[in-house]
Amino acid sequence: QVPLVESGGGLVQPGGSLRLSCVDSGRTFTTGTMGWFRQTPGKEREFVAVRRWSFGTTLYADSVKGRFTMSRDNEKKTLYLQMNSLSPEDTATYFCAATNKGLITSTIRFPSNYDYWGQGTQVTVSS
Cross-strand pairs, 55: none
Which of 81, 86, 7, 92 is closest to 43 using CA atoms?
Answer: 92
Query: Rounded CA gap, 43 and 40, in Å?
Result: 6
Q: What is the reported pLDDT for 103?
A: 95
pLDDT by residue for the chain (127 residues), tens only, comes to: 568 999 999 999 999 999 999 998 876 677 899 999 999 999 999 999 999 999 889 999 999 999 999 999 989 999 999 999 999 999 999 999 999 999 999 999 999 999 999 999 999 999 9
